[in-house]
Structure 1
Amino acid sequence: MSPKVMPGGLPHPDKSTILEYAYGIKEKGVAVAMLPLTPEMIALVAERFKALGEPARLRLLHALREGERTVSELMEDTGLSQANVSKHLQLLHSLGFVTRRKEGLYVRYALADADVFALCDLMCGRLQAETEARRELFAVS
């Protein structure tokens, strides 16, 4: 069986490989020290950030925060078409953001883990701080 290859021909490491490479791992998965990133690792990270740069994918991930969903349920939750939901789920699955399992006639999707929301929460906090700073800057005394 040949190893998975990502777009661009890079090997497709599993999540633990990426974490072990990029960070010194302490007990319970807490990152303690970032190692220098190779061009290959930078490409892997950029690919994942690019995937998160699409609002439709963020909507799907947000809907999956509530638990497993089928494509039909995700269509209802997000208002996206079946083709769009399927296309985005395929990419999210290939990058390890979501898992899928067959249940009868349906495929159920779920978050691989909730770590992605740490990034979202970080960015939302930053946006809130920037908004508050702008309000204070333009506030009339």
Structure 2
Amino acid sequence: MEGLSELALDHVAQYFSALSEPSRLRILNYLREGERNVGELAEACECSQANVSRHLSTLAKHGMVVREGRGTAVYYRIADESIYALCDLVCGNVAKRLEAQASLLGSLAPKKKR
């Protein structure tokens, strides 16, 4: 981040903001398996097609997914695979923290008598 202009920092913040919605992270995870259309993503995410379309629009706006129309169907795929390296790094760190918290809570819990 060092040396970035205020405008660039604003764009970075907006990029991360697009990743702050769990449904969008689920969509990105499903797209890891390959391209899918809105209906397939809606079914996988257990969301309405309108909701998935809205999330895909946000992801596309930030350059995370690419939209391709084929006849009457529209398919989405990941625009840049490096998004997974970022997500895996962050998710791995969050998982480690949650495990540490669970371990700490487990050690503080009263022991059951037998």
After superposition, what is the alpha-carbon deviation per residue over 1:109-132, rounded to whole angstroms, capped at 9, x for unaligned? 000022111121112221222133
Q: For residue 137 of structure 1, report the CA deviation from its aligned partner.
A: 3.4
Which range is displaced more, 96-105 or 114-123?
Answer: 114-123
Change (3 A) 1:38 1:84: same
Q: For residue 135 of structure 1, report the CA deviation from its aligned partner.
A: 4.1
- Tell me how far apart the structure 2 counterparts of residues 135 and 92 of structure 1 sit (CA, whole Å): 33
Residue 44, structure 1, aligned to residue 14, structure 2: no
Gaps of 5+ in 1: 1-33
- Tell me how far apart the structure 2 counterparts of residues 58 and 75 of structure 1 sit (CA, whole Å): 13
Q: Which letter maps to 2:82? A: D
Count of residues in Structure 1 that have an aligned counterpart in Structure 2: 108
TM-score of the superposed pair, with normalisation by structure 1: 0.69
Structure number with higher helix proportion:
2
Aligned with 1:122 (options 89, 97, 100): 89
Corresponding residue SS for 1:100: strand
- Tell me how far apart the structure 2 counterparts of residues 108 and 36 of structure 1 sit (CA, whole Å): 37
Residue 29 of structure 2 corresponds to which residue in structure 1? 62
User: Percent identity, aligned pairs only?
Assistant: 46
Q: Which letter maps to 2:77? A: A
Q: What pairs up with 1:1-141 in 2 under 5 angstroms?
A: 35-138=2-105, 139=107
